[in-house]
């Protein structure tokens, strides 16, 4: 059985990933594909518990290293439980964030550096690489405004507070933003950068084009 296709979506908080993943899943289903959709952190029972620990803004502050180790613990579980079995059975896997997030947020934002993150990736994830990464980078300002609104709505509706990361200062997000650009330049064959303040439809079209191209290449 031919191996499936591993697609990741990346971007700052509030970059519109969640909306685009829903659109992409519907687009794939129309074409007879039945994608496995998963998010990080989260996506397995263990991962959901790790996510709650990581994003709880009331919790004791975590050191950058602890944060990175938890991200990788979550990822190891998701790879073993969901991602590898799905790829081995020929399915398309769409993952909302993967190691590029750790490189951008912990490597860039928390200043642990890329090399340390990539070493952990080789060790913990067997260096599993996405076939295609869609990196959504609308302007820094608009991403942050959207992330803030979404958080306030979620907290008001559910009482769950996932504010921890989004309470970070502008400088932190600027470093994340710059690291994402660095990754896009370094891994230009894998990463499709979708920049600027485009409409939801325009972003979806670019995503659909990039995915079609990769699907054709493996068929
Ligand atoms: P989400 O809201 O897109 O699901 O992301 C949750 C937060 O976790 C977001 O602020 C980015 C952060 N994050 C990291 O800092 N490192 C990582 O490796 C991952 C996967 C997410």
Cβ distance 203 to 16 under 8 Å?
A: yes
CA of residue 101 to ligand 1 center, whole Å: 6
Residue 1 maps to a domain: no
Over residues 100-150, the pLDDT tens digits come to 999 999 999 999 999 999 999 999 999 999 999 999 998 888 777 776 776
**Angstrom distance (rounded) from CA 41 to CA 71:** 6
Show the DSSP H helices in 32-78 as ranges.
45-55, 64-78
Cα–Cα nearest to 69, from 124, 122, 114? 124
Number of folded domains that form the chain: 1
CA of residue 216 to ligand 1 center, whole Å: 31
**Is 8 a pocket residue for ligand 1 (Cβ < 6 Å)?**
no
Q: What is the pLDDT, as a whole number, of residue 159?
A: 66
Residue 162 maps to a domain: yes
Measured in whole angstroms, the distance separating CA 216 from the mean position of its chain's CA atoms is 24
Name the helix (H) or strand (E) containing 118. Answer: helix 114-125
**Angstrom distance (rounded) from CA 35 to CA 53:** 28
The mean predicted confidence, pLDDT, of the chain is: 91
Residue 115 maps to a domain: yes
Residue 198 maps to a domain: yes
**CA gyration radius for the chain?**
17
CA of residue 166 to ligand 1 center, whole Å: 10
Contacts of 19 (CB under 8 A, 6+ apart): 200
Over residues 179-209, the pLDDT tens digits come to 999 999 999 999 999 998 899 999 999 999 9
Residue 55 maps to a domain: yes
Contacts of 181 (CB under 8 A, 6+ apart): 137, 193
Residue 54 maps to a domain: yes
Instruction: Provide the residue range defining the domain that includes 186.
Output: 6-218
pTM attached to this predicted model: 0.91
Bigger pLDDT: 134 or 59? 134
Q: What is the CATH number of the domain that holds 16?
A: 3.40.50.300
**Is 41 a pocket residue for ligand 1 (Cβ < 6 Å)?**
yes
Grouping H, G, I as helix, E, B as strand and the rest as coil, residue 92 is: coil
Least confident of 5-9, 69-73, 113-117, 139-143: 139-143
């Amino acid at each position: 059985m031919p191996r499936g296709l591993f697609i990741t979506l990346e971007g700052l908080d509030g970059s519109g990933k969640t909306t685009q993943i829903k659109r992409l899943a519907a687009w794939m289903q129309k074409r007879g594909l039945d994608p496995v959709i998963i998010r990080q952190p989260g996506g397995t029972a263990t991962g959901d518990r790790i996510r709650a620990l990581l994003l709880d803004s009331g919790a004791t502050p975590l050191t950058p290293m602890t944060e990175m180790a938890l991200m990788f613990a979550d990822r190891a579980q998701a790879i073993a439980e969901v991602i590898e079995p799905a790829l081995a059975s020929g399915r398309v896997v769409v993952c909302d964030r993967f190691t590029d997030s750790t490189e951008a947020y912990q490597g860039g934002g928390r200043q642990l550096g890329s090399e340390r993150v990539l070493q952990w990736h080789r060790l913990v994830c067997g260096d599993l690489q996405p076939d295609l990464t869609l990196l959504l980078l609308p302007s820094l300002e608009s991403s942050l405004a959207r992330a803030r609104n979404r958080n306030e709505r979620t907290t008001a509706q559910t009482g769950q507070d996932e504010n921890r990361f989004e309470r970070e200062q502008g400088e932190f997000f600027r470093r994340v933003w710059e690291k994402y650009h660095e990754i896009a330049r370094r891994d230009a064959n894998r990463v499709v950068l979708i920049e600027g303040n485009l409409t939801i439809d325009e972003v979806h079209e670019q995503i659909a084009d990039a995915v079609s191209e990769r699907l054709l290449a493996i068929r």
